[in-house]
Amino acid sequence: MSTITSAKTAPIPLEKRRQWSQAWVAAAFLLPALLLLGVFLVYPLLTSFRLSLLNWNGLGNTAQYVGLHNWAELLHDSTFLTAIKNNGLLALLSIAIQIPAGLVLAFLLNKAGRGSTFLKVLYFLPLLMSSVAIGTVFRSVYDPNFGPINSLLRAMHLDVLAQDWLGNPSLALPSVIAVVCWQNIPFYMLLFLAGLASMPAELREAALLDGASKRVIFWRITLPFLQGTIRTALVLSLIGSLRYFDLIYVMTGGGPSGASEVMATYMYRTVFASFNIGYGAAISTAMFIIVAVAAGLALRTTRRFETEV
Amino acid sequence: MLRPQTALPSRALLFLAALVWLLVTTLPFVFMLLTSVKSQSDVYLIPVWALPKTFDFSNYLNVLRGSFFIYLRNSIFVVTVSVALTLLLSSMAAFAFARIRFRFNGFLFGLVVAGLIVPVHVTLIPVYLMTRTLGIYDTPFALIGPYVAFSLPISIFILTEFMRQIPREMEEAAQIDGAGPMTLFTRIFLPLCMPGLATVAIYNGINMWNEFIFAYVLTSSPQSRTLPLAIWDFQGQYSANIPAILAVVTLTSLPLIAAYIFGQERIIQGMMAGSVKG
């Protein structure tokens, strides 16, 4: 009844009117979320770029507009370049260690099946700990005097191998990366376990019926099936490595003398220890650009890889 | 791709790998617990893996008598409010993305999901300045906005996928009965999405419970800080007292570990779902 009358009075076709009202409903449902994303993600992103054009110590109206000066300086800043290099190394080693280890352990848990609840509980424990907690525990684990690593080496009469793991500039970064792996391998294990769980059993059964060996099934069926998950893992670990902060900050603060500096620790020190807001904003904006480009490239190349296989 | 000529790792090798990883994950926890009940001098005097002659729980008592419960209260408050808001806002947005046709639907969805790659650190300075301007610096309220906002992209992504799988017939049946979008959302979609909402709550809850950098920058006194910062603040206080510091770490980790032992299956599922396209 009512639709007929409204169709008569309004010149707009019914279908069109329905779409209009739907747009309003959509707006009402979306607005709160979009508002919050705007205030805490989009606006800060733009503000960071604007701040990067200033020379400002964060106090009062002392800000000076300096154009791209901070950006020019950033390109020649050896600390920043070291930080990028360390982030790159972190990404490389994360991908090379965490993803294969996660894969192997996921296969293992998958095979162990129901009996593995106990293993799962213990294996995933690191995922529940905060990075501050993990960093603090491992600072003691690495301690040159009472830490279990050096104690073990001494007990095995390998005193020469006992080191100041976090205090030695050439060991600090590898020592930190080892803990990064400890913290993140369970995550990739979980990711691949989820991928394996979504694999239809018929796939394997059909191959078995066709007389395929276990090895052939692994390389020809299981791994290709996990391709999408592996791609996700690659992108995640790349993005994650480029913005790594908590654990490194807690364990070494980026030191000793910049040996384990990454972009985020450098940015933090610049802003909240040296009060160089403009320069810190340039570092953080550069970080965003690097992450965005890396993510874009990773998504594109891994997708191309998929079509080739 | 390289194709190794060797057979798949045999059972023995897999078993060995399982054992090695078990030791690698659990030994740091054992070390933490063991050291936290030693006296300060025992740390240097007796071997690392030896039990102390007398268990010293004074570290735990000191921590519990200190401001531990204030940190705990703040954590519970911030995480509860932030998870509730995240669930509300992301389910509403997911409903719009999954079920309402409007121009820019796909574009906006893509934009929201792109929020996943924004590093927290790019927003740190502006959010810090904003928090100061608003006068909520050094209050637990300062954390809620950033926590919810940074949880939205993944939550909207998960819930939209979830809602897309709800059969159209249910929706149409309700519409014939005269249900408007609001009724549809609260009476049909929310109840059907309970498993998805649980997943989102668990995944974000764990992340927020452990969050460090926003809590570190946006608050400064124990009165308004959360549990991860308890570790940080105690470290400043007891710089050389290793057992006391590890007792704090143990205490702050305990709530989540206890929750995990109770709801193990659920929590693993929640983390799995969150990780799939995280």
Complex ipTM: 0.89
Provide the CA B172 distance to its chain's centre, in angstroms. 37
Contact between B212 and A129 under an 8 Å Cβ cutoff? The reply is no
What is the C-alpha separation between B72 and B75, in angstroms, rounded? 5
DSSP 8-state code for residue A247:
H
Cα–Cα nearest to A133, from B57, B211, B51: B211
- DSSP letter for each residue of B189-255: IHHHTHHHHHHHHHHHHHHHHT--HHHHHH--SGGG--HHHHHHHHHHHTTT-HHHHHHHHHHHHHH
| A26 interfacial to chain B (CB closer than 8 Å) | yes
Mean pLDDT of B29-52: 86
| B272 pLDDT above the threshold of 80 | no
Query: If you search the block for the tokens 């300096």, which residue do you land on?
Result: A66
Mean pLDDT of B196-213: 93
pLDDT at residue B9 in the model: 56
Please tell me which of the candidates A23, A191, A263 has its beta carbon nearest to residue B102.
Answer: A23
Which H or E element spans position A27? helix A14-37
B 44-83 → A contacts, CB under 8 A: 44, 47-49
Tell if the CB–CB gap between B119 and A291 is shorter than 8 Å: yes
Structure tokens, B206: 């764990």
| B158 interfacial to chain A (CB closer than 8 Å) | no
| B194 pLDDT above the threshold of 80 | yes
Q: What are A247-295's pLDDT values in tens digits? A: 999 999 987 988 999 999 999 999 999 999 999 999 999 999 999 999 9
| B92 interfacial to chain A (CB closer than 8 Å) | yes
| B206 interfacial to chain A (CB closer than 8 Å) | yes
A 30-89 → B contacts, CB under 8 A: 30, 32-34, 36-37, 39-41, 43-45, 47-48, 51
| A9 pLDDT above the threshold of 60 | no
A 181-220 → B contacts, CB under 8 A: 182, 185-187, 190-191, 193-194, 197, 214-215, 218-219
Residue A119: closest C-alpha in chain B = B22
What is the C-alpha separation between B147 and B159, in angstroms, rounded? 18
Task: Name residues whose C-beta falls within 8 Å of residue A233's C-beta, 6 or more positions apart in sequence.
Answer: A99, A102, A188, A191, A192
**Percent of the residues in chain A that have a pLDDT greater than 90, as a whole number:** 53
Closest chain A C-alpha to B116 CA, distance in angstroms: 10
Closest chain A C-alpha to B152 CA, distance in angstroms: 7
Provide, as residue numbers in chain A, all residues whose Cβ is less than 8 Å from the Cβ of B112. 33-34, 37
What is the C-alpha separation between A69 and A42, in angstroms, rounded? 24
Provide, as residue numbers in chain A, all residues whose Cβ is less than 8 Å from the Cβ of B181. 25, 29
Tell if the CB–CB gap between B210 and A146 is shorter than 8 Å: no
Mean pLDDT of A159-167: 84
A 239-298 → B contacts, CB under 8 A: 239, 242-243, 245-246, 250, 263-264, 267-268, 271-272, 277, 280-281, 284-285, 287-288, 291-292, 295
Longest dimension (CA), chain B: 78
Provide, as residue numbers in chain A, all residues whose Cβ is less than 8 Å from the Cβ of B253. 128-130, 133
DSSP 8-state code for residue B51:
P
Tell if the CB–CB gap between A146 and B43 is shorter than 8 Å: yes
Residue B212: closest C-alpha in chain A = A246
| A133 pLDDT above the threshold of 70 | yes
| A10 pLDDT above the threshold of 50 | no
Provide, as residue numbers in chain A, all residues whose Cβ is less than 8 Å from the Cβ of B145. 36, 39-40
Bridge partners, A55 (sequence order)? A64
What is the C-alpha separation between A124 and A133, in angstroms, rounded? 15
Structure tokens, B150: 């940074």
Contact between A241 and A290 under an 8 Å Cβ cutoff? The reply is no
Q: What are A33-74's pLDDT values in tens digits? A: 999 999 999 999 999 999 999 999 877 788 888 889 999 999
Tell if the CB–CB gap between B228 and A130 is shorter than 8 Å: yes
Contact between B242 and B43 under an 8 Å Cβ cutoff? The reply is yes
| A142 interfacial to chain B (CB closer than 8 Å) | no
Q: Is A99 left (phi over 0), alpha (psi -120 to 50) or beta?
A: alpha
Chain A to chain B, count of Cβ pairs less than 8 Å apart?
A: 261
Query: If you search the block for the tokens 């992450």, which residue do you land on?
Result: A291
Sign, CA dihedral B169-B175-B181-B187, equals negative
| B2 interfacial to chain A (CB closer than 8 Å) | no
Residue B253: closest C-alpha in chain A = A129
Closest chain B C-alpha to A124 CA, distance in angstroms: 8
pLDDT band at residue B168, thresholds of 50, 70 and 90? confident
What pTM was estimated for this model as a whole? 0.89
pLDDT at residue A263 in the model: 96
Closest chain B C-alpha to A26 CA, distance in angstroms: 5
| Lowest-confidence segment of A123-132, A273-282, B263-272 by average pLDDT | B263-272
